[in-house]
Amino acid sequence: MTVYNFYMRQTNLSVPDAVREIITRNRSIYDCIKMDLINYTALAVKIQKDVEARVGGPVNLNTIVVAIKRYADSFETKEAVQNEPVLKDARLSLTDGIVDIKFSSNDFAMEDAVALMDRFTKIDPNYEFFRFTDSFRFLTEDISDIHKVLESFSSKDFQTGLAKITIHMPQTQSSSDVVSYVSEVLHNSGIELVNAFFAQDNIVIVVHEKDAARAYEILRGEITR
């Protein structure tokens, strides 16, 4: 396993960032938004619970509608500034051989998560931890010792065969805009995101390991073009 960089974050999103994250991860909705082929209110109703889960509390439906509209309007702005590279001044790091592990907050107490973090640290000190309202996730090395730890937990959901690309951005750049751009660039090259995690100055995108090297080279080319 090759590790180029590391950080650990707890996730707490604003409503606009939560909306952008949900839309970015759903390619069909993303394409409909970009082509202006979707009813904003209907979409807001559909994603309201997901938005509230990411934000950490109740969110007014109209607030979500406004966030969706602003996201849709941003595509026109992106066309106007297309000559300015979105990934300008970004730094990339790639880690392969990753497993994405998800636990439900309802089935797993936070003190248990802390104990699990300690166990993971002894095996893979470069793991990452993301906390949401209804769940928390680990991105860690996909090795037998990690799977042995997981055997003692009946309630978990995990996916193997993954890699992560960490994008380190200047604080002046919007992380949600970067993920939208990265998703589109990779999609146009036949690579789909498995997941994406936002932080203040870092973004972690998760791809299938078979696509990792090519995705890294594509994004590096976007930085240097």
Yes or no: say if 21 and 67 are a contact pair by the CB < 8 Å rule. no
Residue at 35 is within a domain? yes
Residue at 199 is within a domain? no
pLDDT at 76: 67
Q: Which residues pair with 195 in a beta bridge?
A: 206
Contacts of 82 (CB under 8 A, 6+ apart): none
The span from the CA of 225 to the CA of 214, in Å, is: 16
Which pLDDT tens digit goes with each residue over 13-37?
A: 789 888 988 887 787 888 888 888 8
pLDDT cut 90: percent of the chain above it:
27
pLDDT at 95: 93
Number of domains in the chain: 1
pLDDT at 28: 80
Query: CB atoms < 10 A from the CB of 56, how many?
Result: 15
Residue at 152 is within a domain? no
Which pLDDT tens digit goes with each residue over 177-204?
A: 788 788 888 888 889 888 888 766 688 9
Q: Which domain holds residue 46?
A: 15-80
Query: CB atoms < 10 A from the CB of 22, how many?
Result: 21
Residue at 22 is within a domain? yes
Could you tell me the two tokens for 158? 């995990």
Residue at 87 is within a domain? no
Residue at 181 is within a domain? no
Q: How far is CA 43 from CA 13, 46, 88, 145, 186, in A?
A: 19, 5, 32, 42, 24
Residue at 4 is within a domain? no
Contacts of 13 (CB under 8 A, 6+ apart): 21, 54, 55, 198
Dihedral sign computed on CA atoms, order 131, 135, 136, 142: negative
pTM of the model: 0.65
**How confident is the prediction for the chain on average, in pLDDT?**
81
- Spell out a b/e string for 161-193, using b for 16 or more CB atoms within 10 Å of the CB, else e: ebbbbbbebeeebbbbbbbbbbbbbbeeeebeb
Query: Burial of 54 by CB count in 10 Å (0-12 exposed, 13-18 middle, 19+ buried)?
Result: buried
Residue at 52 is within a domain? yes
Which pLDDT tens digit goes with each residue over 74-103?
A: 776 555 444 566 787 889 999 999 999 888
pLDDT at 22: 86
